[in-house]
């Protein structure tokens, strides 16, 4: 084993360890939420995951972006199979270790090259679309600053990785044709074979230096990409599958009953009933991330910031402050802030005087929501912004007694008249006259 192999093993091990460390922190942050049982109806969950996460069926409503994203998605999954060979070559000092597979290997490498070219073209189109073409949902204010930069970084990295892969193969092919030792004749190169002329003027040593540099750039780039994911919205690559698996299988928008409220209603209807014994303080709604469920927090980390939810939101379309995408982004920002607080205080959260409600998400945003579920229907990975909105509203109404004036009038009418309208029960049927 040579020095290069040792260096490679150290880089690979460090990359995997650092990713694992970051992934564990994110898991810790997600589990700060309240418990929620989403382990029922497993067969239905697997089918939804295969359909929505793997098949990406909810993206198909926009056929062109769907097709381009599908190319990038399939490319990401399948081309990374080739990474296995690169890793083994790096560990053992071999070159094209699987070349003994012969014709099948040639087919696989050729297919990977066509896929890499398709990914390259798709990503360039996405870069132009995001930065040169006005697509309203990609130019809204919540994407200003880091979110837009983050999206562009990923796209540029993908261009560089695919470029390195194809030019590495082109240099490799020229070295194979020259019969250079170590460069076994293996693989089919339908794309990089078109650019071998770029390298034919180089000396053999120059070619080896370029091929090795591209090889190192490609594999280190993949390891760096892996470790960038936990800091990026692109962590949805990892979380989309579990997030869809844990989808809410009840009808969209169905509000869960709070047991404490149900008990109170039962006592009102039957004062002789025995109240249930409980020692836990009852909290209505959610003020901060600890009051949300772990699934709400998983939703926030899974958000791709694509803005399809906001593009379909009638409140946002009519100019109101609400953006379902911003709700998810602000929730994730608050979870990250709480996580850093815990890290800084040796595993214990120290009250920082902030909360998700008011400091991150305003009542104006929450009350603009019509609870129509357009955002939930539009999300390609089954994120549910409405669940967070409803819990924050509950906090405003039931804990802070701060509903809008119109709701206060309705509550008073229901209490006094048994109906939302401002007339007595005896007059309720007058409309038919």
The model's pTM is 0.89
Listed in sequence order, the residues at least 6 apart from 249 whose beta carbon sits closer than 8 Å to its beta carbon are 40, 41, 44, 45, 48
- Structure confidence at residue 1 (pLDDT): 65
Cα distances (Å, whole numbers) of residue 165 to 9, 170, 364: 20, 9, 49
Mean pLDDT on 31-60: 93
pLDDT over threshold 70, residue 279? no
For residue range 180-221, what is the model confidence (pLDDT) as tens digits?
888 888 888 899 989 988 988 889 999 999 999 999 999 999
Residue 34 — φ and ψ, nearest 5°? -65, 155
Confidence grade of residue 81 (pLDDT, cut at 50, 70, 90): confident
**Residue 205: helix, strand or coil by DSSP?**
helix
- Checking if the pLDDT of 275 tops 80, the result is no
pLDDT band at 390 (very low <50, low <70, confident <90, very high): very high
The mean of the pLDDT values for the chain is 90
Query: Backbone phi, then psi, for 331, in 5-degree steps?
Result: -60, -45
Q: What is the pLDDT of residue 316?
A: 95
Over residues 402-428, the pLDDT tens digits come to: 989 888 888 888 888 877 887 777 777
CB 73 within 8 A of CB 241: no
What value does the mean pLDDT take over residues 227-233?
Answer: 93
> Phi-psi category of 325—alpha, beta or left, where left has phi over 0 and alpha has psi -120 to 50?
alpha
User: What percentage of the chain reaches a pLDDT higher than 90?
Assistant: 61
pLDDT value, residue 418 = 78
Residue 171 has pLDDT above 70, yes or no: yes
Q: Where is mean pLDDT largest: 143-147, 280-284, 330-334, 405-409?
A: 330-334
Alpha-helix runs per DSSP H in 31-102: 42-48, 63-92
| pLDDT number for residue 47 | 95
Name the residue among 194, 298, 184 with its Cα closest to residue 236. 298
State yes or no: pLDDT of 144 exceeds 70: yes
**Which has the minimum average pLDDT: 15-29, 170-184, 230-244, 324-338?**
170-184
Q: Which of 9-18, 208-217, 255-264, 365-374 is least confident?
A: 255-264
Mean pLDDT is lowest, of 151-155, 252-256, 376-380, for: 252-256
Do 396 and 363 contact (CB within 8 A), yes or no?
yes
């Amino acid at each position: 084993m040579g020095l290069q192999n040792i260096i490679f093993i150290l880089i690979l091990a460090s990359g995997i360890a650092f990713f694992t460390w970051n992934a564990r922190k994110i898991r810790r942050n997600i589990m700060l939420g309240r418990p929620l049982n989403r382990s029922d109806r497993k067969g239905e969950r697997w089918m939804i995951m295969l359909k929505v996460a793997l098949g990406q069926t909810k993206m198909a409503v926009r056929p062109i972006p769907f097709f381009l994203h599908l190319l990038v998605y399939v490319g990401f999954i399948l081309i990374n199979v080739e990474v296995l060979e690169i890793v083994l070559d790096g560990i053992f000092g071999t070159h094209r270790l699987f070349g003994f597979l012969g014709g099948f290997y040639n087919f696989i490498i050729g297919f990977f090259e066509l896929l890499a070219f398709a990914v390259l073209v798709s990503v360039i189109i996405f870069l132009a679309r995001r930065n040169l073409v006005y697509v309203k949902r990609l130019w809204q204010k919540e994407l200003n600053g880091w979110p837009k930069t983050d999206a562009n970084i990923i796209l540029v990295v993908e261009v560089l990785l695919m470029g390195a892969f194809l030019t590495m193969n082109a240099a490799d092919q020229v070295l194979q044709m020259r019969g250079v030792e170590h460069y076994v004749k293996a693989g089919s190169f339908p794309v990089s074979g078109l650019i071998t002329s770029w390298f034919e003027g180089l000396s053999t040593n120059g070619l080896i230096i370029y091929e090795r540099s591209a090889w190192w750039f490609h594999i280190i780039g993949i390891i760096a990409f892996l470790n960038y994911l936990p800091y990026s919205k692109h962590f949805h690559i990892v979380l989309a599958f579990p997030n869809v698996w844990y989808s809410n299988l009840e009808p969209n928008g169905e509000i869960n009953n709070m047991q404490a409220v149900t008990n109170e209603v039962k006592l009102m209807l039957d004062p002789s009933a025995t109240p249930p014994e409980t020692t836990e303080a009852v909290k209505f709604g959610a003020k901060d991330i600890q009051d949300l469920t772990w699934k709400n927090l998983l939703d926030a980390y899974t958000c791709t910031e694509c803005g399809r939810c906001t593009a379909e939101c009638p409140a946002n379309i009519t100019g109101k402050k609400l953006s379902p995408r911003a709700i998810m982004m602000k929730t994730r920002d608050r979870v990250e802030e709480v996580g850093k607080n815990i890290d800084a205080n040796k595993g214990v959260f120290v009250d920082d005087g902030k909360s998700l409600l008011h400091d991150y998400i305003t009542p104006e945003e929450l009350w603009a929501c019509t609870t129509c579920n357009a955002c939930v229907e539009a999300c390609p990975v089954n994120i549910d912004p409405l669940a967070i909105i409803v819990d924050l509203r509950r906090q405003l109404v039931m804990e802070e007694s701060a509903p809008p004036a119109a709701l206060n009038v309705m509550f008073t009418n229901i209490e006094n008249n048994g109906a939302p309208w401002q007339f007595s029960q005896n007059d309720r049927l007058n409309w038919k006259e």
